[in-house]
Amino acid sequence: MLTNYLESQLLNKVEHCYRDAERILNRTFPFPDVLLNQRGKIAGCAHLQKNTLKFHPLLYQQNQEHFLTHVVPHEIAHLLVWQLYGKTAPHGKEWQNIMVGVFNLPPHRTHQYNVDNIGIKTVLYTCGCGELAMTIRRHNKVLKGAIYRCKKCHQDLRMK
């Protein structure tokens, strides 16, 4: 689990980003709830209508500097766009403008963190291309009748 120091670093970054946004955009924004309970392969998530940010504690711990510099502003930009414009495309021009104009960051949509060692359980499936690890969630859907196809060879994936 995260240390108090890491949690305070994250909260300080959120606060700093909000102060910058308020100064640059010349208006105030409601400060969000910040949770460290994101799961799966997602580094962070913004719940717009709840004004909540969720961050993945293990991905943060393993990628602290980059996470604080890129993931935190990325998710905050989603909340700011919601406050400014309402419903828009998730990574549309409004979000991109906030990323560049407020946070001076490239508007990347996804992270490139290694997720091999964050405890996600998988089941091996095969197709014409080879093997693919599917999450337990998708595996359970297959057991209930769902069919997944390979994006490359378009064959049905089958359990190894």
Active site residue 75: yes
Out of 7, 15, 22, 75, the active site residue is: 75
Can you read off the two tokens belonging to residue 47?
């719940």
Measure the CA–CA gap between 119 and 145, rounded to whole angstroms: 26
> Pick from 103, 113, 104, 115: which is nearest to 79 by CA?
103
> Pick from 53, 88, 83: which is nearest to 68 by CA?
53
- Active site amino acids: 75
